[in-house]
Chain A
Amino acid sequence: EPEVTQTPSHQVTQMGQEVILRCVPISNHLYFYWYRQILGQKVEFLVSFYNNEISEKSEIFDDQFSVERPDGSNFTLKIRSTKLEDSAMYFCASSETGGVREQYFGPGTRLTVT
């Protein structure tokens, strides 16, 4: 069964450093998403992406965040200057079609900012 993959599974970085989280969505999916989940809290939407453009972003997704689809398979989330409060689990998801449809999540990257 096709699945979303994410690398690395765990990233430790120092405050102020840049990190890039990587995702490979399901191959025939066209819509991509990033979410974060701070430990013990709810899953929060960051951004949606379609046709090489951001479709929607939340208030969390400020100027320190960016997304990119550098090739036909990868979808990345970059955090330019990490803060302690960026420590969280970051999930990538994809869906086959747009609209309100099922999304399939990757296993997540645990980001720890020290």
Chain B
Amino acid sequence: RKEVEQDPGPFNVPEGATVAFNCTYSNSASQSFFWYRQDCRKEPKLLMSVYSSGNEDGRFTAQLNRASQYISLLIRDSKLSDSATYLCVCPHFQSGGSYIPTFGRGTSLIVHP
């Protein structure tokens, strides 16, 4: 099983729609996760951290399901400016206790008028 899996999409939605992405992870020791957004040929920008069951910031809600080992990102009232690739990041712990931040391939979102 891949360490971090995301549906590449693209998710093509009209403005104002609600859209949700999932990200599954394989390392059950992971307890903190992150969502980043990445615009074309730009750097990843931190969107949300998920340290416990979930997090909400305006139109964005992230949730964690430990039993099924996935995190989700919900975007309400989509804007044209939300068009981007959404990257899920999970820590992959090593034997010495350190970790490697492991990125998913990202889910592409296109919001159209």
Query: A residues engaging B (CB < 8 A)?
Result: 33, 41-45, 48, 55-56, 58, 89, 91, 100-108
In the complex, A45 Cα to B105 Cα: how many Å?
Answer: 13
Enumerate chain A residues within 8 angstroms of B100, measured Cβ to Cβ: 45, 48, 56, 58
Chain B residues whose CB sits within 8 angstroms of the CB of A56 once the complex forms: 94, 98-100
Other-chain contact of B101, A33, A89, A104, A106 (Cβ < 8 Å) = A33
CB within 8 Å for A103 and B99 given contacts A41-B105, A42-B106: no
Asked whether, in the complex, the Cβ of B101 is within 8 Å of the Cβ of A42, the reply is no
Q: What's the least CB distance linking B47 to chain A, in Å?
A: 10
Given known pairs A91-B44, A106-B43, the reply for A100 and B103 (CB within 8 Å) is no
Size of B's binding interface in residues, CB under 8 A: 24
The residue from B32, B43, B91 contacting A91, defined by CB atoms under 8 A apart: B43
Q: Which residues of A contact B31 (CB under 8 A)?
A: 100
Q: How far is the CA of A55 from the CA of B98 in the complex (A)?
A: 7
Known: A56-B94, A100-B31, A105-B45. 17 other contacts (CB 8 A): A43-B44, A43-B87, A45-B102, A45-B103, A56-B99, A56-B100, A89-B41, A91-B44, A100-B32, A100-B91, A101-B32, A102-B34, A103-B101, A104-B46, A105-B43, A106-B43, A107-B42
- Give the Cβ gap from A59 to chain B, nearest Cβ, in Å: 10
Report chain A residues within 8 Å CB of B49: 102
Q: How far is the CA of A73 from the CA of B31 in the complex (A)?
A: 31
- Distance A103 CA – B98 CA, assembled complex (angstroms): 15
Nearest residue (CB) in A for B41 is A89
Closest A residue to B42 using CB positions: A107
A-B contact pairs, 10 of them (CB 8 A): A43-B103, A45-B100, A45-B101, A45-B102, A56-B94, A91-B44, A100-B30, A100-B99, A102-B49, A103-B34
Closest to A41 in B: B105
Interface centre among A33, A48, A91, A100 (most CB of B within 10 A): A100
Q: Give the Cβ gap from B41 to chain A, nearest Cβ, in Å.
A: 8
Assembly CA distance A106 to B45 (angstroms): 9
Cβ-defined contact, B103 with A42, below 8 A: yes
